Every structure is written in structure tokens, then in C-alpha cells.
Amino acid sequence: MALPVARGMFTLRTSTPMITDYFTIPWLVIAGKTPSPETIVQLICYVARKISVWPLFHNGVAAGLCIHPDVANIDSTWIVYNRESECTREEHSGFLMALGLNGYLKNFPRLNVQEYLKDSCEVINVGVLLGLSASHCGTMNVLMTRLLSSYVETLLPPNIKLDIKQNVQIAALMGVGLVYQGTANRHISHALLTEIGRPPRPDKKNHESYSLAAGLALGLVMLGSGGDVSANIPNTLHYYMVGGHTRLFSGAQEDRYKSRSYPIWENDSININVTTPGATIALGLMYFNTGNRAVVEWMQLPDTQYLLEDIRPDFLLLRVLVKSLILWEDIEPTESWIFSHLPNIVNKYRLQKPTPKVTQNVDLDTINQAYYNIIAGACMALGLRYAGTANKNAFKILYNHTRMFLKLSHPTKAKFVGKSTIETCLNIILLSTAMVMAGTGDLDIMRICRRVRTRLGPAAGGTYGSHLAAHMALGLLFLGGGKYTLSNSPSAVAALIISLFPKFPTHSDDNRCHLQALRHLYVLAAEPRIILPRDIDTGQYCYATIHLTFETDREAAGQEISLQAPCLLPQLCSLKRIELKDTRYWTIIFEKHHNWQQLKNMLERRDFLSIKQRAGCLSYLEDPHGYRSLMAQTLTTENAIAWAARLDLENMLAIKQKMAVILDKWEHDMKPLIKQYLTNGMVQADTISLARMCAYFIFYGIPYPIDDKTISNWVMTMQRSSDISNIALYKLYKILQTRTL
């Protein structure tokens, strides 16, 4: 049931449907099979219906994401036409969300929107709202604002009461954040800020997910604008993060909540277990890459046993992540940077065996859980920083930590810290590693993913969320069939945090801490950066060497590296020059401020790069080592180029035999030229013919120029000469014999 999310990643924008037919959504099979004898076991109908709602939704999203964004004639008529297909409501709702993520709902008519929303089906509403919001990302569209406001209580008059399911309201909150992304709108930001700390309602569940969605939406709205906001917003977020006495509502909010009865008692302090995740992430996105030291101080980790026990270990993970987001440029792919986040007390007592002396001073369970979560938070920040770059140093560090946590997940070792802690940290680091190598299909990560997903049963700790994380890591590794990778721009980082938030469901119907539909927002961070060389004459894809010159990357600024295309390019913003520089193909250069837009258009269209093969050269598929190409250059180019290669005896003999065959084929055509040369002392012929004649003389060791005196001397000394080989004498004899005829 966790496979459809990964399938959507793997098949992202890879197909073109026929608009005259129904769009086929693959069946989601949830039946079981006994090991011996092999018997199909069907689940009870009402049980299968309950546990398959969100897997069916993911199945519909995966089917819709495979549609290429440039397909023509996909409009409201075709979308509504597919509503009558054989798919379920859940699958069609996911299909709608996928179309929105690909931009097909941007001009969706209002009448059709109302037709979908009037049924009050939870998953349909979630899919439509998120799909429409993704299509209008960052536009502040007025019609979308009106639509989403009808699902968010804070954006309505205080006397209006909503009877809407909680998951739909969560989707609407996230939709507001998407539509107003990066705008720092004051009214919207204050409304979302209020929703983070909204009191719980007795008729609504998933309150933690609601507060988190409000925080994530606020972070999107205020993305990177921390220095330009009023002090009220960061101070309130800090209050939601660390807790305090409950503040009284004022104005419209006082009228909204004073008339309701809430049997859930939360005493006189704010419930930080609900508000901390959303508030912490909101601060990180708001102050993204600003280096604000005041907010960084809020994220400092406690350095005493007493203070560590007051903070949930998973909140330490979020603090490390947010601190790294704020100090974005300080992230380094080194072990020292990873361990620099550990407080002294954690670094001192981590991974120690329980002895009477140690346990008397500290609680090792608290120390170890803090240690693992801090390392996981630092690894996630490192994965976000180098997402889609395939940075070798970052990959090596994350890969080593993944293997370490995989060993710790063994039941005999995990019992000392807690299976859930190890499992969550393993999922986070595995996803972080996959983010760095997104689209590369790295074999080492694939092996770990296979090992993780093969663990079955509760004894091994493999929950639905663990399988979901493993499959998502595998999907990121082959994103878009290897044609896509991830960006690490501010908006892309925000989308990745939302989709890979480190709180995974325990079962397929779990939306308590994070709405499952948000797992698909990684699409907003995916971008095509594959360069595909294609021979303009044959129309076949080929290999070619390209040289990249970096401009802004701090590790490679001004340096030039070589890659073998087809390959995934680094982010274009870090490059200043891309040159196809291969001895077998003519040079093509892309430079900033010259023809850079042409390169961008080619990548966005997922188009190929047309290249021209040089004369006398073969492709790498036909001549992998360049032996045949080099020989052809020597024999056919205008200026013969001396060349040398390290060849074993077998290859040298093969080349000599091949060359003898070629020269024998040329001998008939060269006889008139040689006769002309011997008679007149000069030859009038084209360049290729002259090059062939010179090659003929060189190969058989015949000295030149040749005059009559030389010929006479040769005739007289032919039998006793030791400087001329027998085959050269034979060839000369044939030439002279031809001359006398």
C-alpha cells in the first residue's frame, strides 16, 4: 500500500496519454497470499475500505503525475470525462491533485470546481484544493483566495461556523500557504499565526496536523523574509515553541471561541506538544538563509540533563534542522559539522554502556535518544543543502550514517534506545541520502532501500511509515526515470520539508501529525536537468564529454570539471559556462549573458542537444576506446597528426593487419598517382589522395622523394640492401614493373 507514492516519483512526467480514451489508473491490489500453500486471501470489505482510502488516493496521484506537462488538449472537458471512468473517488481525487501539481488546473472553470466540491467528499475536497493551490502557487489569485477562505475559520467573519472535516481544513490551510508563497502578506500571515495555537475542538481530530499545516503555510508565506516582518510574528512563534501561560484571545477570535464548550482541558499553559513543530518550522522558513543570530539562539540545544528531559527528542531534531536553515551557508559536508551540533553532555555520555557510576549521573536513554535525533536533524539539513547535487562528500557522510543506523535497527541493539527512535532516524537519513543523489540511480542506496523494505512484521519495527519512507527514497533515486533531480532553492527546500517532514504515519489511515496528501509536494522541487546529446545525422543518442565551469558554488567556484553526457547537470545558477568539448564532435558552448536562455528552454522542454560528429570519427558506441577513430583521423585529415597509444601486442597486430587491408584496397587507385610521381616528380591530386599515398609509403617503409637515380640505385642494390624490408622491395618492384609497361 506504500508503493504508489514511490511509483509517482519514478514515473514523474514520463508519458503522453491519448485524450480520446479514458485515462487508465492501475489497480491497487491489497489482497494477501499465504506462503504455503499459495492461497489468495481477500480482506473483509469494510476493513479493506477503511485502510485503503489514502493508498487509493496515492495511487491516483501516481497515475496523474506520469502525464507530461506539455501534453496538448488536456482541459476541463477531458478531466470531467475521466470522472466517469472505472476508478474510485479516492483515485480520481488523487488524479486531480496530480493534474494541479503539473499545472493543468490553472484555468479550471469555477463551475467544474463547484461540481467537485459540492459532494462534501473528504478526499475529493483535499485533492481539488491542493491541486488548484499548486497550480496558482505564489500568484495571490483572488478567486483562489475566496475559495480557500471558505474553509479557514480565521479568514471568515466570527459569527460563521464551519462544519467541515478537519483534513479538508488542513488542505485549505496549506493551499493558502501555496497561493501566497513568498508574498509576506500581513493579513494572511497573522491569520495563519493564530491558527497554529487554535484551541482543540471536541468534534475534530488530527489537531497536531492542523497546527503543523498552519505553521508550514506561514513559513511559505514568509519564506526568506524574516528581517522584514514585525516583531509580533517571531515572538509569538517562539512562545508557541517554548510554551507559556495561555494568552487570552482578543477581537474577533474572542467572539469565535468564547461561545463554545471545550471538554478537552489543557490547563493554563499552551500545549507545546501540538504547537512546537509548526512554530519551529515556520521560524526556519521565515529566516531561511538570513543568518539571524537572535533566532539561532532560540534554537540552541540544552546542555544539562534537566533541560534535556524537558524537551521531546524529536523537537531537538527540528531545532537542529531549523538552525541549519537559518545558517544555510554554514552547512558543510563534513563529519565535524555533523557532530558540532551535539551539546557537551550528549557528546560525553553518548553510546556508553550502563554502569552504576554513569547511570547515577545521567539518564542514558535520554542522552542516546537526544544523540540520535540531533544526528538525524543535521543529516536532513545536509541532505536539503546538497539536494540534487550528487556531492561526493555529502553522499559519503550520509551513506555512512545510514549504514550505522541500519545496524542499530537490529532488535537486540534497538532495545537500548527504542525501536521507534531508531526507525524514525533511519528513515530520515535514508531520505536525506536519496535527496542528494536524486535522479542518479545510485546502486549503493538502492541496496539499502531493498534491505529496509524487506523487513516484515512488527518484531522488526517495520511500520507503514517505514515502508513509505523506504519507497520514497527509492523513488527519489530514480526521479522521473532518471531525467529529473531536485533543486535546493528556497521554494524547493520548503516543498521538500513539507513532503518529507520527519513524522511518518503508523498505519495507512494515519493523518494525526501530518496530512498524507502533502507527501506529494516534492513535485514542486523537481526540475529537469538532464542533457541528452543526439547525433544530428543519425538521430541516435550518443555519449559526449562536456566541461562545466562553476561561478557561485563555494567548493568549485572558478573550477572546471568534465562529465560524460548524458548526465544530470548541477543547478544552472551555480554555473557560468557549459561547453561540449569532445574530440569526436564539434564544440558547442553555452554561456551566461549570451545563449543561456536557450539552454534553459532545452532543459525545460526535456529536449535533446543536437551535435555534429567530426569527419573521420566514430561514436563511443562504435569505437569505445578510440582506436578506429584515431586511425581514421591519421589517414583522412588534411594534416596528418602523429599519435601514440599504449597498446598490447595483440591490439598492435590487429591494427597493422587492418591497415594492410585498407592499403591494399587503395593500391589500385594509387598506381596512376605513383606512376605520375615517378615520371614527373610531382603529383596533382586532392588532399585525401596525397594523404593516402604518403601513408602507403610510410607503412611499407619506402623512402621518398624518389628520383631516377634512386630507382637505379635500388635496382642495382635490391638484392643486397638491408635497410629495405622484403615487402617494400616487392611493392617497389611492382611499381617499377608497372612503369615500364
Mean pLDDT of 643-664: 59
φ and ψ at residue 460, rounded to 5 degrees: -85, -5
Cβ-based neighbours of 73, under 8 Å, separated by 6 or more: 19
Ranges of each domain in the chain: 1-122, 137-248+268-287, 293-528, 531-635, 660-737
Task: Give strand ranges (E) for 599-663.
Answer: 609-611
Residue 694: band (very low, low, confident or very high) from pLDDT cuts 50, 70, 90: confident
Please check the confidence at residue 467 and state whether its pLDDT lies above 70: yes
From residue 53, give the alpha-carbon distance in Å to each of 57, 89, 140, 732. Answer: 6, 9, 32, 88
Q: What is the pLDDT of residue 641?
A: 43
**The amino acid at 669:** D
Q: Is 613 helix (H, G, I), strand (E, B) or coil?
A: strand
Cβ-based neighbours of 540, under 8 Å, separated by 6 or more: 534, 619
Question: Rounded distance, CA 431 to CA 424, Å?
Answer: 11
**The amino acid at 356:** P
DSSP class of 625: T
Q: What is the pLDDT of residue 725?
A: 52
The residue written with cell numbers 539552454 in the block is 599
CB 525 within 8 Å of CB 487:
yes
Cβ burial, residue 598 (10 Å; 0-12/13-18/19+): exposed
From residue 435, give the alpha-carbon distance in Å to each of 134, 390, 526, 690. Answer: 22, 9, 11, 58
For the stretch 68-106, pLDDT in tens is 888 888 888 899 888 877 788 899 999 999 999 999 999
The residue written with cell numbers 472553470 in the block is 109
Question: Rounded distance, CA 471 to CA 449, Å?
Answer: 7
Report which secondary-structure segment, H or E, holds 535: strand 533-535
Q: What is the pLDDT of residue 727?
A: 55
DSSP class of 522: G
| The three grid cell numbers given for residue 391, joined into one nine-digit string | 556531492
Of 611, 562, 559, 618, nearest to 587 (Cα)? Answer: 611
Cβ-based neighbours of 113, under 8 Å, separated by 6 or more: 128, 132, 147
Least confident of 55-64, 170-179, 240-249: 240-249
pTM for the model stands at 0.82
From residue 536, give the alpha-carbon distance in Å to each of 255, 546, 609, 617, 630. Answer: 71, 17, 9, 14, 22
**The amino acid at 722:** S
| The three grid cell numbers given for residue 200, joined into one nine-digit string | 482543540
CB 31 within 8 Å of CB 43:
yes
CB 66 within 8 Å of CB 15:
yes
| The three grid cell numbers given for residue 485, joined into one nine-digit string | 533531480
CB 482 within 8 Å of CB 532:
no
Mean pLDDT of 419-425: 89
Pick 365 or 98 by higher pLDDT: 98
Cβ burial, residue 29 (10 Å; 0-12/13-18/19+): exposed
CB 677 within 8 Å of CB 708:
no
Ramachandran sector of residue 460 (left: φ over 0; alpha: ψ -120 to 50; beta: rest): alpha
Mean pLDDT of 425-433: 96
The residue written with cell numbers 527540528 in the block is 318
Q: Is 453 helix (H, G, I), strand (E, B) or coil?
A: helix
For the stretch 286-341, pLDDT in tens is 999 999 999 999 999 998 888 888 899 999 999 999 999 999 999 999 999 999 99
From residue 153, give the alpha-carbon distance in Å to each of 149, 160, 531. Answer: 8, 8, 48
Residue 633: band (very low, low, confident or very high) from pLDDT cuts 50, 70, 90: low
Q: What is the pLDDT of residue 293?
A: 93
Task: Give strand ranges (E) for 52-193.
Answer: none
For the stretch 106-116, pLDDT in tens is 999 999 999 99
Euclidean distance between the first and the last CA atom of the chain, given in angstroms as a whole number: 88
Please check the confidence at residue 140 and state whether its pLDDT lies above 90: yes
Task: Give me the sign of the Cα torsion angle 50, 213, 419, 400.
Answer: positive
- Listed in sequence order, the DSSP H helices in 136-250 are 142-149, 166-179, 186-196, 207-221, 232-242
Mean pLDDT of 710-720: 49
Residue 593: band (very low, low, confident or very high) from pLDDT cuts 50, 70, 90: confident
Please check the confidence at residue 646 and state whether its pLDDT lies above 90: no
The residue written with cell numbers 550514517 in the block is 401
| The three grid cell numbers given for residue 185, joined into one nine-digit string | 502578506
Task: Give me the sign of the Cα torsion angle 217, 218, 222, 223.
Answer: negative
What is the length of the chain? Answer: 741
